[in-house]
Amino acid sequence: MNYKDTINLPKTDFAMKADLVKREPELHRWWAEVDIYRAILNARRAAPKYVLHDGPPYANGEVHIGTGINKILKDIVVKYKTMRGFETPYVPGWDCHGQPIEHKVVTQLGRKAQTTPKAEIREMCKKYAESFIDIQRRQFKRLGVFGEWERPYLTFDPTYEASVLELFADLVEKGHVYRKLKPVHWCMSCRTALAEAELEYGDEKGPSIYVRFPLRTRVDKLFGVKLSDPGSVMIWTTTPWTLPANVATALHPQLNYALVKYESVALGRPETTIVAAPTVERVFGALGIKNFEVLGTAEGKALNGTEYTHPFINRTCPIVMADYVRVEDGTGCVHTAPGHGQEDYATGIEYNLPVLSPVDPDGRFTQEAEVFVGMNVFDADQKICKLLADNKTLLRQEEITHSYPHCWRCKKPVIFRATEQWFIAVDHANAREKALAQVAKTKWYPEWGEVRISGMLRERPDWCISRQRTWGVPIPAVYCQKCGKPFLTAENVRRTAAIFAKEGASAWFLQPASYFHSGGAKCEKCGGAEFRKEDDIFDVWFESGASHRAVVMKHEALSFPADLYLEGTDQHRGWFQLSLLPTVMSQGVAPFRAVLTHGFVVDEEGDKLSKSKAGGLLQAEELTDKYGADVLRLWTSSVNFTDDIPVSHKVIQERAEPYMKIRNTFRYLLGNLFDFDPTRHTVPLGQLHEIDRWALSRLQNLIRRVTSHYERFEFYRAYHDIYNFCVVEMSAFYLDIAKDRLYCSGADWTERRGVQTVLGTILDTLTRLVAPVLVHTAEEIWRNTSAHKKGSAAGSPGEVDSVHIATWPTVDPELVDVDLETRWDRLVKVRTDVLRELERLRKEKTIGSSLEANVTLHADDEKLYEFLKGYEKDLPMVFIVSNVKLGCGLLKGSTPGVEVQKLSILAKPSEHKRCERCWNRRDTVGKDTTHPALCARCVRAV
RNA sequence: GGGCGCGUAGCUCAGUUGGUUAGAGCACACGCUUGAUAAGCGUGGGGUCGGUGGUUCGAGUCCACUCGCGCCCA
């Protein structure tokens, strides 16, 4: 007789082979059919809300692994919170405006771009953005992310554009908005401002000059000498044309400066001048002056406030302090023109210096320059050198070649030119302090996020919100045609917002100024009645910073403030900060209650990813096509994402194995429950074997730990706990031991139904615990578990039966038994020692299968003996051997325990016959006449 | 150059208020099993805890410096 047919082997349709690439899209079809996102929300209609507000990715390019990780993490949070019983709407969005898209479109247009109307360019940009939204949406959905995919928020939607203006109107009303000069990269040939990304750096030949600025303040005492003349301070520059805008000279406060006496050919007498001490040799070498003498040195900060005379303009300027001053080139004394340089501008702000920009859009000097008015600035270089030489302030002039920015379009060198820009005042109405107070009230994950963003907020200058571009939301200001006075009122901004809500922001480019400016208004300054529209648009950060207004406050499913923002750490300066500031200014509170950040993807060596490097950026689609979304999600959940995230095919491939292990654990659970009906077969807790209660107690421990990890967004800890539970506690221990009872007991025996009772609970709980991460696999398991076998109701009748609507498991205190766990911890240690001894026998070829062995254990300790004695009849099952004998004292020829002291182990092959059915060696085999090949237990079973 | 982080086996992670020979899983090697079978089980090798110096009876853990890497600024 073939006894294999008489044992209860697992049966299931749940495939061992995952085949995720094929299976996941099938589930997606089902989810689409039942409208899973809507079904989940419907099931939570009465529940408290949990709002995760999506930071919009840029609508350009495909979804790469970094963007994919971000969306997966958000989805894990959303699915977890849903299971915790919250109504968890998720409205994804896209950042659609901005320079990169405009640049792409304008590049495609080539020369035609100059003559194409702005409204037309904007239409092309919109089409471009839409094409990538479609691609990215498909790729995000493929990851198993649920959300409002058919109604996402888009920053080019008229309602969104209107919201940006509504927010802006509040800020205008509260007095945060003002205009002032700021230097920008400027192409005088294209007559346009350029973004950093629009610059191309290349070598350029130009002048290099050393100039002395005559001092007005006497400094000799500072250097410990006495001189008859105040002397000078020496600067070096490669842009002589910026000298008309010079208003200061910057020195490093901690650097040593030398007072140098030298013979001046121009002056025909000795002169003293100041340069940084480390530069003396090099500078005077370059000047070709051999006779010089350092009279003394002084620290830079001692010279702070010293005054000098501008070399050719009637102007008195100060010496100021700046940390960026270097001594590698130049003199360590830096010519400072806040209208012509970024650092100069910052220094200008710090010292309240005037921002001079005596250059018109064509690059010609204006009246303000006082010299060479109307001349192109590059042409003026030589003239200015001549002027300096004539008034004896030029010490040296030569030609050098250096890296210089050029316009990406016309390839001509660009200049820094100060232009009027719109700003948001951070210190107005205590906004900075209020924002910092809100930061302190926000929960930051990880905690150092608070330190990081606070530091940035404390240091940040006013926010320049204007951009000289086309693809964005226009700044709705108008100017008096006659006198140029700008008009920006909350009323007009709100009027424009209403127009945008109906017609979209492109109306600004199609309609006249009068359409937006209240009729009959006259210029307060000159009485002019004609107005022109502002050309500038908003910084895209102002748009995304308005998402709380456009989305969280307006979308019917959401509520303000959001519970969570979740983005990369770069957004501490970006979206988090630039959402916080305007929200604090308009609403008085932060737009978020908590902020979670993740690190950046790096390569296997931990270096940043770059397109040029081998492999380049991994694309999400490439990974889902190769491994399946659940493997990608499992990998995402397994790393501590607050750090950098090393990513490669190898590390993701490595998660395919644990995925299979978890999958197989589920398959085994399902397989052994094929004939189990919980309503009829459940064995009460009191009748369960201790080891079954051990498994239930460990399961409670798992629930407790995993829940706490999810609450802290520490998914990698949940991954490790779940995985170790499957591998160590279930597969290698409990399930291995349970096989005999499952397979060989009679189908309906209590010992078998008891195990099944436990397996059913574990299956149900574990499916829920992995559902936020393994979204497809959990659903597949759920669908393979018929409704009546699930531990608790999935939802009300008529609802979609999805694991993602099910509720999160909670710890059942009745199932927790710490003492029992402690006892079994000890038994596991004994087991480890026994298995090591069995392995030794295997190596000697004495046994093969462990069931071939009998084990004798001796305890040289009374308490240990009593402990083992209490489990005597369970020990063969626990060790998976045929028989175990217990004894006291020492045992001849035995092996001492390693894990357990005072224990000695002796294993040898069993002398009994093998039961053909259960493979145990038993003395009862052969006793039965009908079934001579079976042991007594198996005779009963068949 | 500055601010904020990170650095424990090949990989992903544990390591309580400083306290014995630094743990787990995977990977690797060698076996067992063939009733979870493109599965399951066992045993084993592998780490100067980025480096140096210090505090201490004792440091992966505390302090200083240093190297490497990332994000954000300059």
The ipTM, to two decimals, is: 0.96
Is the CB of residue A921 inside 7 Å of nucleic acid strand B?
A: no
Is the CB of residue A611 inside 7 Å of nucleic acid strand B?
A: no
Phi, psi values for residue A921, rounded to 5°: -95, 120
Is the CB of residue A744 inside 7 Å of nucleic acid strand B?
A: yes
Is the CB of residue A722 less than 8 Å from the CB of residue A766?
A: yes
> What six digits make up the tokens of A227?
């001189």
- Please write the tens of the pLDDT for every residue from A850-889: 999 999 999 999 999 999 999 999 999 999 999 999 999 8
pLDDT attached to residue A189? 86
- Please write the tens of the pLDDT for every residue from A372-422: 999 999 999 999 999 999 999 999 999 988 888 888 778 889 999 999 999
Is the CB of residue A743 inside 7 Å of nucleic acid strand B?
A: yes
Residue A255: pLDDT band with limits 50, 70, 90: confident
When mean pLDDT is compared across A315-324, A405-414, A596-605, A669-678, the lowest value belongs to A405-414
| Cα dihedral A247, A252, A257, A263 in deg (nearest 10) | -30
pLDDT attached to residue A682? 95
Phi, psi values for residue A440, rounded to 5°: -65, -30
Q: Own/partner pairs for A37-40, CB < 8 Å, 24+ apart? A: A37/A90, A37/A146, A37/A147, A37/A148, A37/A149, A39/A799, A39/A800, A39/A802, A39/A805, A40/A82, A40/A88, A40/A146, A40/A802, A40/A804, A40/A805
Say which residue, A807 or A266, is predicted with more confidence. A807
- Over range A80-96, report the average pLDDT: 98
Strand partners, A208: A398
DSSP A180-235: EEEEEEEETTTTEEE-GGGEEEEEEEEEEEEEEEEBSS--GGGGT---SS--EEEE
pLDDT at A520 over 70: no
Give pTM, 2 decimals. Answer: 0.92
pLDDT attached to residue A517? 82
State the Cα–Cα distance between residues A789 and A787, nearest whole angstrom.
5
Instruction: State chain A's mean pLDDT as an integer.
Output: 93
pLDDT attached to residue A790? 63
Strand B nucleotides where any atom sits below 7 Å of a protein CB: 1, 3-7, 10-14, 24-27, 31-44, 68-74
State the Cα–Cα distance between residues A738 and A745, nearest whole angstrom.
11
Is the CB of residue A671 inside 7 Å of nucleic acid strand B?
A: yes
Q: Of residues 700 to 719 in chain A, which lie within 7 A of strand B by their beta carbon? A: 714, 716-717, 719
- Over range A708-736, report the average pLDDT: 95
Phi, psi values for residue A729, rounded to 5°: -80, -40
Is the CB of residue A350 inside 7 Å of nucleic acid strand B?
A: no
Residues 6+ apart with CB under 8 A from A263: A269, A270, A271, A289, A291, A292
State the Cα–Cα distance between residues A791 and A814, nearest whole angstrom.
16
pLDDT at A615 over 60: no
pLDDT at A793 over 60: no
DSSP symbol at A164: H
% of chain A exceeding 90 in pLDDT: 82
CA A857, A861, A866, A867 torsion: positive or negative?
negative
State the Cα–Cα distance between residues A508 and A516, nearest whole angstrom.
8
Is the CB of residue A19 inside 7 Å of nucleic acid strand B?
A: no
Q: Which of A122-131, A183-192, A455-464 has the highest mean pLDDT?
A: A122-131
Strand partners, A914: A921
DSSP A814-847: GG--HHHHHHHHHHHHHHHHHHHHHHHHHHTTS-
Is the CB of residue A575 less than 8 Å from the CB of residue A565?
A: yes
State the Cα–Cα distance between residues A804 and A28, nearest whole angstrom.
13
Q: Name the nucleotide with the smallest C1'–CA separation from A731.
A: B40
> What six digits make up the tokens of A362?
């064509």
CA A732, A736, A737, A738 torsion: positive or negative?
positive
pLDDT attached to residue A913? 94
- Please write the tens of the pLDDT for every residue from A205-218: 889 999 999 999 99
A105, A148, A150, A658, A799 from A36: Cα distances, Å: 37, 11, 13, 28, 10
pLDDT attached to residue A430? 96
Query: What's the Å distance between residue A451 CA and nucleotide B17 C1'?
Result: 25
Residues 6+ apart with CB under 8 A from A545: A575, A578, A579, A581, A582, A583
Is the CB of residue A803 less than 8 Å from the CB of residue A778?
A: yes
Give the 3-state secondary structure percentages of chain A, helix then strand then coil, rounded to 5.
Answer: 45, 20, 35
Is the CB of residue A317 less than 8 Å from the CB of residue A232?
A: no
State the Cα–Cα distance between residues A607 and A610, nearest whole angstrom.
9
Is the CB of residue A720 inside 7 Å of nucleic acid strand B?
A: yes
pLDDT attached to residue A798? 61
State the Cα–Cα distance between residues A341 and A344, nearest whole angstrom.
5
- Please write the tens of the pLDDT for every residue from A280-305: 999 999 999 988 999 999 989 899 99
> What six digits make up the tokens of A609?
């990813």
State the Cα–Cα distance between residues A177 and A171, nearest whole angstrom.
6
